[in-house]
Chains A and B, each alone.
Chain A
Amino acid sequence: MSDKNPEYDFKWCPGCGDFGVRRALEAAVEQRRVETELPVENNVIVAGIGCSGNMVHLLEGPQPYGLHGIHGRTLPIALGVKMGRPDLNVIVVAGDGDFLSIGNEHIAPQAARNLDVTVVIMDNAVYGLTKGQSSPTTKLDEITSSTPYGKPEVQLNPLALYLTLGVSYIASHVSTKVRDLGAVIADAMNHKGFSIVHVQSPCTTYNNTFQELKGNVRQGIPPLAWDIPDHHDPSDVEAAHDLINQGGVPVGVVYRDTDRPSFQDRIDIINDKSFPRQVEKMIDSYAI
């Protein structure tokens, strides 16, 4: 149940990482509202299917528009919203199953186009809503409900994938650092081009990795998440590769290419080259 709609009864499990991501997104949207002085309705949240997609219904405060579509197709929908309405700020929220498994085919084209939308991925390395199946980011040999003898695929490295495909803004984060995550999402929204903020957002029911991410000094477990040092230059693609190759979960902006024109910039160039005709004239060109 949400405050704004008592009929809506979907609930995340207690402690779900998505709560933190929600707070961060709300903060980023609010920051943008203040900075741009545009109404919150100028934002469109395109949501995937799964626990994370339900974020679009759970956002509190002034409501942006939402489009809660079908499994795996957030990017094609976002492409339509953004290129149909370049004046809008378009944000995709989806999970690792939706975005990296069924939706994987759509990442490369948007990266090649540099579509100006911001993607916030909540990665819990499991299909939560369908109760615990393995996902592309589940570790090799991991036992899940769909891999009772261990997962036979190697774990996908999403950051390496994004960098290889040419995504022009890549950030990696954890759901627990809400304030900093909010700032990174706001920064990603200001990036003119395709930005992905990949957030580790653990599933407390099927794959609770909070401890792993945080580490445990007393038990001698090193944290999986580590802050990207200040000296990292996100505009250096080689440095970004090196950073990803260090493993674990880097926290911060991994890569940022501000030189590439966005898809809209390129379409504007084409429109400048073209000779638009009125419908009447188009019809006349077939006159006999």
Chain B
Amino acid sequence: MQKSDFVVRFAGEGGQGMVTSSEGLAQAASNVGYHVQTFVTFPSQIMGGPTMAQARLATTPVLSSGDDIDVLVCFNEEAYQNHRDEVREGGVIIYNSGEFEPDDLANSFGMPFADLAKSTGNARAENMIVLGALAHLVSMSQGILEDFVKERFTRGRANDEQIISSNFEALTLGRQEAEKSGFSLGELAPSIHPEGDQILVNGNEAISLGACAAGLSFYIGYPISPATSILLWMERNLTGNGKFVYQASSEIEAINAIVGAGFGGQKAMTATAGPGLSLMGEGLGLAWMAEVPLVVADIQRGGPSTGLPTKTEQSDLLMAMTPGHGDVSIPIIAPGTVEECFYGAVMAFNWAERYQGPVILLSEHMLSERKQNIAKPDLSKLEVEDRKIYTGSNGYNRYDGWELSPMPLPGHPGSYIANGSEHDGMGDTTHLPERHIQMTERRFSKLKLLEIEGYESRNNDASIALMPWGGSKGPALAAYDLVVDNGVELGWYYTMFLNPLPVDLLEELRHKELVLVPELNYLGQFSGILRSQGVNAASITQYTGLPFKVNELAERIKERLEQEQKVSVTV
């Protein structure tokens, strides 16, 4: 029987090569046209700690990293104990017999990863031993992996040949071990090449590329998990004439610096996580008040305070809406897939430029580390917006009126004071009630410029609908498919534009009997926001630090529908 879908989990101690293995497998498979998605979770420490990385390959687009593990690769005994129960019936465990021997050998076979690698003369080829064995289990041609090895290790160095041949040998040794074991999972169906060119990126790379495509010229950021990779990417890539990239001394410095840069006319950005966003609240308020375009990417992690730095959660939404004091409503774009990370970043800049204010791009840990194949963005089709610039003569009332007005740039006529205190047209401080009314309404009126129409939906006639947000989109869509495949009437709605919501979407949601929101937080943050906007919404929450599992989520949707409808639903 052909398999159209293959899920492998690599588990062990950080540093043993789990992430390299899963990304290597994903790269090799995507090179020949499979759809791939990876998932990584690890503790917050430099070396070691229980780490797991997963790769899913399929012949059709992948919505989640997969619950039903076909093969579990255990680098040590702890990993075996922790993950063995998640292997599907008929699945196989490959364990590192150089480290331990399990008691139950029914569905597993061992091989000494390190000894086999050493026998090739390349002690670092452990993950190729593993990949060779995996390829055998699903009858994947070794050529696919060999091509990948050739590409990865052709680096123009004297020992390239030697490294490549030792890795080839490692693939063969792993394959032979799997053959000896007698296990087979059937044959992975041939790939169906996705239409058009593809790229393989993770969420943070997609955000970085999107920001650059939108014209980013000024980046400053402070290291923080899981946003650090954006800073490192920018340090390497955002260089050259007219560009500035720098590591800030704090998140407070970062946010205020991009206010200064945005005021100067740059497309400026920082990326952070919850603790950093907490520190940026006052600066975001300044950008809102002084009407300065800028983008803050918040790559959410778990918990309040230091929380869970390397785990995933969707619990910064309420803070992102009103990160500082006073009357503010910061526009939020929350990408739900790696592809949306790219387009969300582009739109975040477009929104910032269009309404002249701060925009938050709300991503999350699970997306930041997820490698996925996406259609290669066509830059010629990308719409990039720039702010309206004032080009008149001097004596300009920058904040005149009740709506957006063109922004003068320093160095040119039209000098004004960008003011964080309430101000009059010229930007001078004022306390007059009529001014505060005018300026407050002016600032909120600009949000209207961001109101769009259009959203993703299915089965619009159903009175109950499922509407996830952010990174829960994939697992929720897979769970939705499971539920409706069993004949249940359920609608589906999704948008990455969370604030403001597309106007027509909001209107439609208001007419639903119930909107169920799967989200990774305790409070049910998005359903609360929907309720405040007149939608009867309720959350399905999870706060484990991990993404939803498709089967569990389908089960919980089912239970909720049964409560609601007092009918039995089978999944």
Q: Which residues from chain A sit less than 8 Å from chain B, CB to CB? A: 2, 4-5, 7-10, 39-42, 44, 46, 54, 56-57, 63-70, 73, 75-85, 87-88, 105-106, 108-109, 267, 270-271, 274-277, 279-280, 282-283, 286-288
Near A by CB (< 8 A), chain B positions 319-337 give none
Closest residue of chain A to B261 (Cβ to Cβ) is A84
Of listed B249, B264, B265, B421, residue having the most chain A CB within 10 A = B264
Measured between beta carbons, the chain B residues less than 8 angstroms from A78 are 260
User: Which chain A residue has the least Cβ–Cβ distance from B240?
Assistant: A276
CB distance from A60 to the nearest CB of B (A): 13
A8 touches B412 (CB 8 A): no
6 closest cross-chain pairs (CB), A and B: A80-B260, A276-B240, A84-B261, A76-B256, A80-B257, A274-B239
Min CB distance, B343 to chain A, in Å? Answer: 13
Give every chain B residue within 8 A of A274 (Cβ-Cβ): 239-240
Tell me the complex Cα distance, A2–B377, Å.
53
Do B261 and A83 touch (CB < 8 A)? yes
Given contacts A10-B429, A57-B428, contact A283 B376 (CB under 8 A): yes
Contact A288 B411 (CB under 8 A): no
Taking A67-B263, A68-B429 as contacts, is the C-beta distance between A288 and B417 under 8 angstroms?
Answer: no
A48 to chain B, nearest CB (A): 11
Q: Beyond A9-B430, A44-B410, A283-B379: 16 further Cβ-contacts under 8 Å?
A: A7-B430, A39-B413, A56-B417, A63-B415, A65-B416, A66-B416, A69-B286, A70-B285, A73-B256, A76-B254, A80-B257, A81-B264, A84-B264, A270-B239, A288-B31, A288-B198
**22 A-B pairs in the complex with CB atoms less than 8 angstroms apart:** A2-B428, A4-B426, A5-B424, A7-B424, A10-B429, A41-B414, A44-B264, A66-B415, A66-B427, A67-B259, A79-B257, A80-B260, A81-B263, A85-B411, A271-B239, A274-B239, A276-B243, A279-B379, A282-B209, A283-B377, A287-B198, A288-B199
Closest residue of A by beta carbon distance from B255: A76
Q: Which residues of B have CB within 8 Å of A267? A: 244, 246
Question: Knowing A70-B286, A283-B377 touch, does A83 contact B257 (C-beta < 8 A)?
Answer: yes
B415–A288 contact, CB under 8 A? no
Establish whether residues A106 and B415, one from each chain, have CB atoms under 8 Å apart when the complex forms.
no
A residues less than 8 Å from B426 (CB atoms): 4-5
Residues B246-283 near A (CB distance < 8 A): 246, 248-250, 252-266, 268, 282-283
Is there contact, CB below 8 Å, between A106 and B264?
no
B445 CB–A CB distance under 8 Å: no
The CA of A79 and the CA of B218, in the complex, are separated in Å by: 11
A70-B286, A271-B239, A283-B209 are known contacts. Are A41 and B263 too (CB-CB below 8 A)? no
Chain B residues near A68 (CB-CB < 8 A): 417-421, 427, 429
- Smallest CB-CB separation from A81: which chain B residue? B260
Chain A residues near B265 (CB, 8 Å)?
A: 84-85
Query: How far apart are the CA atoms of A54 and B265 in the complex, in Å?
Result: 24
A49 to chain B, nearest CB (A): 8
Nearest residue, chain A, Cβ from B419: A68
When distances are taken between beta carbons in the complex, the residues of chain A under 8 Å from B516 are: none
Q: Within the complex, what minimum Cβ distance (angstroms) separates A63 from chain B? A: 5
Which residues from A are CB-within-8-Å of B283?
A: 70, 73
Known: A8-B429, A84-B266, A287-B198. Contact between A67 and B212, CB under 8 A?
Answer: no
Question: Contacts of A80 on B, CB cut-off 8 Å?
Answer: 218, 220, 256-264, 268
The residue in chain A whose Cβ has the minimal distance to the Cβ of B253 is A76
Kindly state whether residue B241 has any CB partner on chain A within 8 Å: yes
Task: Report yes or no: B253 in contact with A79, Cβ–Cβ below 8 A.
Answer: yes
A267 to B245, CA, bound (A): 9
| B127 contacts A by Cβ under 8 Å | no
Q: How far is the CA of A79 from the CA of B380 in the complex (A)?
A: 34
Give the distance in Å from the alpha carbon of A42 to the alpha carbon of B408 in the complex.
12
Using A66-B416, A84-B244, A109-B253 as known contacts, say yes or no to A282 and B428 having CB atoms under 8 A apart: no
With both chains docked as a complex, state the minimum distance between the C-beta of A68 and any C-beta of chain B, in angstroms: 5
Among the listed B237, B256, B414, which residue makes an inter-chain contact with A70, where contact means beta carbons less than 8 Å apart? B256
Cα of A2 to Cα of B426 in the assembled complex, Å? 12
| A84 lies within 8 A of B256 (CB) | no
With A and B bound together, what is the CA distance between A66 and B398 in angstroms? 12
Report the separation of the CA atoms of residues A108 and B198 in the bound assembly, to the nearest whole angstrom.
46
Residue pair B249, A65 in contact (C-beta under 8 Å): no
Would B212 and A279 count as touching, CB distance under 8 A? Answer: yes
CA distance A144 to B410 in the complex (A): 40
**B430 and A8 form a contact (CB under 8 A):** yes
Contacting pair B257 A76 (CB below 8 A): yes
- Contact check, A279 vs B213: say whether CB atoms are below 8 A apart: yes
Q: B296 to nearest A CB, angstroms?
A: 13
CA distance A185 to B198 in the complex (A): 57
Q: List B residues 514-540 near A (Cβ within 8 Å).
A: none
- Is B200 at the interface (CB under 8 A from chain A)? yes
B197 at interface by CB-CB < 8 Å? yes
Q: How far is the CA of A106 from the CA of B411 in the complex (A)?
A: 26
When C-beta atoms are compared, the residue in chain A nearest to B213 turns out to be: A279
**Cα A262 to Cα B40 with chains together (Å):** 42
Cβ contact within 8 Å between A64 and B415: yes
Q: Is the CB of A42 within 8 A of B205?
A: no
B201 within 8 A of A: yes
Q: Cβ of B299 < 8 Å from any Cβ of A?
A: no
Distance A73 CA – B420 CA, assembled complex (angstroms): 12
Of the candidates A57, A69, A83, A270, the one having the most CB atoms from chain B within 10 angstroms of its own CB is A69
Closest to A285 in B: B199
Q: A79-B253, A288-B30 are in contact. Are A67 and B290 (CB under 8 A)?
A: yes
Q: Are A69 and B218 in touch, CB under 8 angstroms?
A: no
Q: Determine the chain A residues whose CB is within 8 A of the CB of B259 once the complex forms.
A: 67, 69, 77, 80
Residue of A nearest to B246 (CB): A83
Q: What residues on A are CB-neighbors of B239 within 8 Å?
A: 270-271, 274-276
B428 contacts A85, C-beta separation under 8 Å: no
Most buried by A among B257, B262, B373, B419: B257
Q: Which residue of A lies closest to B421 (CB)?
A: A68
A54 contacts B429, CB within 8 Å?
yes
Instruction: Closest B residue to A90 by CB, please name it.
Output: B260
Contacts of A10 in B (CB 8 A): 429
Verify if B432 is at the interface (C-beta below 8 Å from A).
Answer: yes
Question: B27 near A: Cβ within 8 Å?
Answer: yes
- Contact between B420 and A69, CB atoms less than 8 A apart: yes
CA distance A46 to B255 in the complex (A): 15
Given contacts A5-B426, A73-B283, A283-B377, contact A66 B417 (CB under 8 A): yes
Q: How far is the CA of A84 from the CA of B258 in the complex (A)?
A: 9
> Cβ of B205: which chain A residues have Cβ within 8 Å of it?
286
Across-interface contacts of A42 in B (CB, < 8 A): 410-411
- Of chain B, the residue at the smallest CB distance from A40 is B415
Bound CA span A242–B348, Å: 54
| Complex: A76 Cα to B416 Cα, angstroms | 20
